[in-house]
Amino acid sequence: MAQLKVLQSIEPGLWQVRTRTEPAPKQGAASSAPEQGCLKAQDIAEDLQAFLAQDDSMSCKGLLQTNSDELAVLQLSCPVPSKEILRKSAAKQSLFKAPPAVIEVRRFSATHFQVSSKGPADKSAGRKASSEFTTVQDYERLDDCPW
């Protein structure tokens, strides 16, 4: 896959990420507590590559529709995962938690970007089968990291 231009000017350092789901689920919190960690643009690109190359039985195909300095749009085609694959992927920590239909990475500045994952509703979460959901992860750089 081509290098995402949107990630090339992201400053490495200590980043905070806030995750929310839209529309908000009827039960539970609509957003999670912020998480922090050291991050480089290369880490994000490698995480996306690892997501696309998960188990052979779930090999997703990505088509980069937009690749600019401010926005990357990736259209995904993933087979429906089995319960075993879902169990394995839930155990892994990743920026990309579920196989969405579209991933958008939008850069607002070198210290602020957003990853939106749009996909079909999860019937087990109490959503209508015909609706969609979006997981939004807001990343903000806080400080330097002691690499």
Give me the chain's average pLDDT, please: 75
Q: Alpha-carbon distance 14 to 8, whole Å?
A: 17
DSSP 56: G
pTM, 2 dp? 0.69
- pLDDT of the residue at 117: 87
Q: Alpha-carbon distance 52 to 67, whole Å?
A: 17
Check residues 107 and 78 and name the one with the higher pLDDT.
107
pLDDT of 18 > 50? The answer is yes
Residue where the block lists tokens 């779930």: 58
User: Cα 24 to the chain's mean position, in Å?
Assistant: 17
For residue 135, give Cα distances in angstroms to 57, 92, 99.
24, 17, 11
Summarize the chain as % helix, strand, coil (round to 5). Answer: 20, 40, 40
